[in-house]
Every structure is written in C-alpha cells, then in structure tokens.
C-alpha cells in the first residue's frame, strides 16, 4: 500500500466525499476553547490545531449510555425491541493513541465474546488519524505501544507536511478509500517523505517513558494489592475515575433497567473500577475497599492481565489520566516506583 499526497486545498473536497461513507465526525473548537469530536461539522468549524481532545473517541463505539433494548410487558411476558443499527461513522483527526485504544476495545468486544452493538459500529467505521507533531510531555505512546514508529488502529494516517498531508493507508479499507478519490491525491515527492521521517523522529524525541513494561506482569504477581506500597500509592486519590472515564482503552460498564414497572429500557453505562461501589456485592462484601487496591486492580488489568489474555497492553500512552487527574497522579511514576519497590519482610 502506497503513501499519497493530499494537497491542503483538496482536504474539503475529500472530506465531502467521505461524508458519503457515513456520518463525518471531526474535532471542533467550542466557544470556550474546549475541543471535542462532533458529528457532521461544517468544514470551517473543523480544527486541526489541537494536541488532543479531552474525551477520546471510544464514546462513538462504546457510548457512555446506550439503550440496548426497550421492553414492554405484554400478556404472556415481554416484548423486546432492539435498537436499530446506526449510520456508519467516518472519524477524522483521530490521534494514534485513540485509534490504538480501539484495538484494545476490539479484543474486549469483538474477540472471544462478541458484542453486536460495538462490533457493528466498528466494522462499518472508517478511522482517519492525524499524526501528532507535538506530543504533550505526559504522552508516552511510543514507549508503551510504539505508535509513532509503528502506527496501528487507523485506516488512514495523515502526516501534516508543507502544503498538505501525506496519507498513509494502514488498512486495506484505507487503501481502497484513497483509491476511490485518486484525482485528489498525488504522488509524494522525496522532500515530503523526508519531512515525514524528521517529524516522526522529533515526536519520538519529545516523549519520555521511564518504565520497562515487560517487567510488570511478574511484579504484579509478586506484590499483592494488600501490600503497603499500594496503600500508600492510593492515599492521594479522590476515587473519581477520571482516569478510566477518559481512557481510550478502558471498557467497563454497568447495566441498569430503567422502568416504570410496565415498560422501560435496558441501559449500558460506563463504570469505573475506581469507584468504591464498583466491586461491591450483595451483603455488603467488597473485595477492594481501599483506594490502593483499586489502583492495583486497574493497573494490573492493563499491564499484566491484558497482555497475558489479549496479547496487548490496555494502555495507549495518551497521558490523559495524568493530565486530567484532580491529583495529577502519574501512572508512569507509580509503575516505576512499583518496579523498584522491595517489600520489607519482618
């Protein structure tokens, strides 16, 4: 699959063509400067000047709240009506960390167990990524997933270069999409390819990763959640769950029936393992009452269980959990200290 060059002047035409594949979703800057992915924006409202959105794109595949079906009591039981499939999605301007997050969600929702709602949306979606030229100092996508040098999760990756974009098809689907609008694309020249390589090198250099993730699975086995390390590590946490709500690779949900007794709906909502009620069971039993135990749970899931079961670390290095944590808890600092920690045996 070959890289092509899309002149900046052709971007609008290309996006207009893409709109025929489904609902276009792109980053938009709101009045107060807040940047979010919005459906069907006017071209003029789309912004390319952003480090990343606060909310990752997973909400378009695993919506925060989703009605799975409506139900109604009838004479001999229930009538159930499943929600109708939606328009396919074309998401433009996705950072690689968010695109990679979909790979984690794929393993959870389209792997051994198939969730029809997620799988259908994902199958029909087209993901167009925009290379991150200036990662935030809290970013570590290269360190954890090698995303800068080995991008994945998107169908097409655009590298912003002088006068336009280098479009790299990462999937067959992406290649086909570029092929469909051949007229808009040109062959890239050597200068542009060189600029792309320099851009990648610079972006890699802007990130720092202080953790050797390969050592974590063993360490998690060694130090249980009851260790004083985790107790102390959880002390400065407010148990809000911003880390997991903003995580592109987090996937927990709870299911509620909202009903008036006769009819209602079954709703799936995001949930966070950092909530003290998350693991509580009938009878008041709670396997993880302490904040540190919940941190252990979240991090061991991402960095030990997921690689063992799903062949992938469920973290994409987007840095949101560090930037938006009310306590600015630093996941890498925690993991580094964890690897260095030696339990004092009495």
Partner 1 sequence: MDKSKNLRETAKTLLSEGAVKSIIGYKKGRFPFYLQPAIIKDPEEAASLVFTPLSRQNLVSFIKKAAKPVGVVVKGCDLRSLVDLLQEHQIGRGDVRIIGVTCAGVLKGDALEHDPRFKPAEIKDVVEDDGRIKVITSSGEFEMPEDSMMEKCRSCSVHAPYLYDDLIGGGEPGKAPGPPAYPGVEEIEKMTPGEKRAFWLDMFSRCIRCNACRQACPLCFCEECVMDEAKPRWVTAEVDPVENLFAHLIRIYHSAGRCVSCGECERACPVGIPLSLLYNKAAKEVNELFGYNPGVDPEAQPAMLTYRLEDPECKSCLGGRNL
Cβ contacts of 256 within 8 Å, gap of 6 or more: 266, 267, 269
Q: How far is the CB of 208 from partner 1 (least distance, A)?
A: 9
Q: How far apart are CA 106 and CA 305, in angstroms?
A: 16
Q: Name the one range near partner 1 by CB under 8 A: 40-48, 150-158, 215-223, 238-246.
A: 238-246
- Selection from 129, 58, 46 nearest residue 92 by Cα: 129
Piece in contact with partner 1 (CB under 8 A), picked from 7-15, 16-24, 27-35, 39-47: 27-35
Q: Which of 4, 55, 295, 298 is in the footprint of partner 1 by CB under 8 A?
A: 55
Verify binding: residue 137, partner 1, rule CB under 8 A: yes
Q: Does residue 235 bind partner 1 (CB under 8 A)?
A: yes
Instruction: Supply φ then ψ for residue 128, to 5 degrees.
Output: -115, 115
Helix (H, G, I), strand (E, B) or coil at 150: coil
Are 87 and 115 in contact, with CB atoms under 8 Å apart? no
Q: Which is nearer to partner 1, 1 or 68 (CB)?
A: 68
State yes or no: residue 329 binds partner 1 (CB under 8 A): yes
Please give the distance of CA 141 from its chain centroid, rounded to a whole number. Answer: 12
Size of interface with partner 1, in residues (CB under 8 A) = 44
- The reply on whether position 136 binds partner 1 by CB under 8 A is yes
From 21, 18, 1, select the one nearest 10 (Cα to Cα): 18
Residues 59-118 touching partner 1, rule: CB under 8 A, are: 63-65
User: Which residue, 134 or 311, has its beta carbon nearer to partner 1?
Assistant: 134
CB of 64 to partner 1, least distance (A): 4
Cβ proximity to partner 1: between 176 and 277 the closer is 277
Residue (of 185, 156, 179, 133) closest to 8 by Cα position: 185
Applying CB under 8 A, among 20, 32, 282, 340 the residue interacting with partner 1 is 32
For residue 134, state whether it binds partner 1 (rule: CB under 8 A).
yes
- Quote the tokens at residue 58: 């997973």
Residue from 127, 242, 250, 304 touching partner 1 (CB under 8 A): that is: 242
According to the binding rule CB under 8 A, does residue 277 interact with partner 1? Answer: yes
Instruction: Tell me if 49 contacts partner 1 by CB under 8 A.
Output: no
Q: Does 121 bind partner 1 (CB under 8 A)?
A: no
Task: Give CA–CA dist 333/5, Å, rounded.
Answer: 40
Q: Please report which helix (H) or strand (E) contains residue 177, including its range.
A: helix 172-180
Nearest to 28 by CA among 54, 9, 6: 54
What's the order of all strands across the beta sheet hosting 164-169? 4-7, 164-169, 156-161, 126-130, 89-94, 23-29, 35-39
Stretch near partner 1 under the rule CB under 8 A, chosen from 143-151, 160-168, 216-224, 265-273: 265-273
User: Can you give the binding site for partner 1, defined by CB under 8 A?
Assistant: 32-34, 36, 54-55, 63-65, 134, 136-138, 206, 210, 232, 235-236, 238-242, 245-246, 254, 256, 258, 267, 269-272, 275, 277, 322, 324, 326-330, 332-333
């Amino acid at each position: 699959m070959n890289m092509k060059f899309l002149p900046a002047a052709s971007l609008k035409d290309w996006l207009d063509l893409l709109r025929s594949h489904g609902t276009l979703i792109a980053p938009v800057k709101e009045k107060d400067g807040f940047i979010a992915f919005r459906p069907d924006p006017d071209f003029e409202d789309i912004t390319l000047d952003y480090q990343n959105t606060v909310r990752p794109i997973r909400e378009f595949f695993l919506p925060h709240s989703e009605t799975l079906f409506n139900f109604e009591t009838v004479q001999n039981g229930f009538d159930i009506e499943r929600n109708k499939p939606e328009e396919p999605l074309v998401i433009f301007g996705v950072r690689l960390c968010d695109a990679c997050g979909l790979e984690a969600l794929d393993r959870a929702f389209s792997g051994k167990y198939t969730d029809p709602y997620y799988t259908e949306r994902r199958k029909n979606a087209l993901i167009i990524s925009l290379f991150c030229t200036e990662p935030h100092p809290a970013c570590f996508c290269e360190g954890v997933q090698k995303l800068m040098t080995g991008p994945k999760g998107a169908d097409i990756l655009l590298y912003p270069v002088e006068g336009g974009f280098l479009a790299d098809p990462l999937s067959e689907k992406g290649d086909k999409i570029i092929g469909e609008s051949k007229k808009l694309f040109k062959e890239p020249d050597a200068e542009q390819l060189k600029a792309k390589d320099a851009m990648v090198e610079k972006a890699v250099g802007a990130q720092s990763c202080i953790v050797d993730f390969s050592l974590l699975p063993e360490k998690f086995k060694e130090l249980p959640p009851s260790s004083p390390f985790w107790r102390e590590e959880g002390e400065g946490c407010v148990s809000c769950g911003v880390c997991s709500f903003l995580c592109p690779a987090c996937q927990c949900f709870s299911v509620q029936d909202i009903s008036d007794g006769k009819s209602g709906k079954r709703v799936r909502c995001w949930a966070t393992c950092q909530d003290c009620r998350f693991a509580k069971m009938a009878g008041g039993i709670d396997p993880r009452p302490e904040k540190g135990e919940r941190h252990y749970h979240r991090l061991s899931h991402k960095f030990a269980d997921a690689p063992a079961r799903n062949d992938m670390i469920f973290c994409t290095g987007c840095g949101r959990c560090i930037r938006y944590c009310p306590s600015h808890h630093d996941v890498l600092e925690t993991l580094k200290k964890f690897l260095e920690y030696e339990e004092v045996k009495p």
